[in-house]
């Protein structure tokens, strides 16, 4: 976490959290969701109109700031610490998005190495990988690379559902305020 974020948290300890305004899609892109996007439907659901995703963030500095301050709370809700405010993230698929770097090593959307233990598929035919109790969805652009690696490694493959993944890996796709 950035030092300036830690300082802001000390200076303003009781800033209310923000929900519904930020999303992470299955490609690793961040989306800002204004009132219109939120009113159009839930983030990343197959039956929601495309406008429900919101506007894809493109500002490199803002994206890097979000990535440095992205984490989970004790209940499995992922957020980005924006100064003193927690901005909870709606997840299209999983807390991590997997891609392959130039050396064919699996990495998260934050650039962190992510060794693969098990492979999962859900009812939407998305491919997920797990390691040490954490879950990542494989980015669609990397499916051919993933298939090549899978043929060599033969990681165990298991069928599951999105709701079971969320429960078994203890994360919340759509965080809501606690009463």
Q: What is the pTM of this model?
A: 0.90
Domain boundaries, the chain: 3-91, 96-166
In the chain, the percentage of residues whose pLDDT exceeds 70 is 96
Distance CA 109, CA 100 (A): 10
Tens of pLDDT, residues 26-66: 999 999 999 999 999 999 888 888 889 999 999 999 999 99
**CATH of region 3-91:** 3.10.540
Q: Give the largest Cα separation in the chain, rounded.
A: 52
Token code pair at residue 174: 């759509």
Token code pair at residue 75: 């209940």
């Amino acid at each position: 976490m950035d030092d300036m974020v830690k300082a802001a948290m000390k200076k303003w300890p009781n800033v209310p959290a923000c929900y519904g305004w930020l999303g992470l899609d299955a490609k690793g892109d961040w989306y800002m969701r204004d009132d219109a996007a939120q009113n159009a439907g839930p983030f990343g659901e197959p039956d929601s109109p495309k406008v429900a995703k919101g506007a894809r963030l493109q500002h490199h500095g803002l994206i890097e700031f979000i990535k440095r301050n992205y984490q989970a709370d004790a209940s499995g809700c992922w957020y980005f610490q924006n100064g003193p405010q927690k901005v909870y993230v709606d997840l299209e698929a999983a807390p991590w998005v997997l891609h392959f770097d130039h050396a064919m090593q699996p990495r998260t959307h934050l650039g962190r190495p992510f060794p693969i233990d098990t492979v999962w598929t859900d009812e939407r035919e998305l491919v997920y990988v797990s390691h040490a109790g954490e879950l990542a969805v494989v980015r669609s652009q990397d499916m051919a690379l993933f298939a090549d690696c899978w043929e060599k490694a033969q990681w165990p493959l298991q069928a599951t559902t999105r709701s079971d993944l969320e429960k078994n890996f203890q994360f919340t796709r759509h965080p809501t305020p606690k009463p």
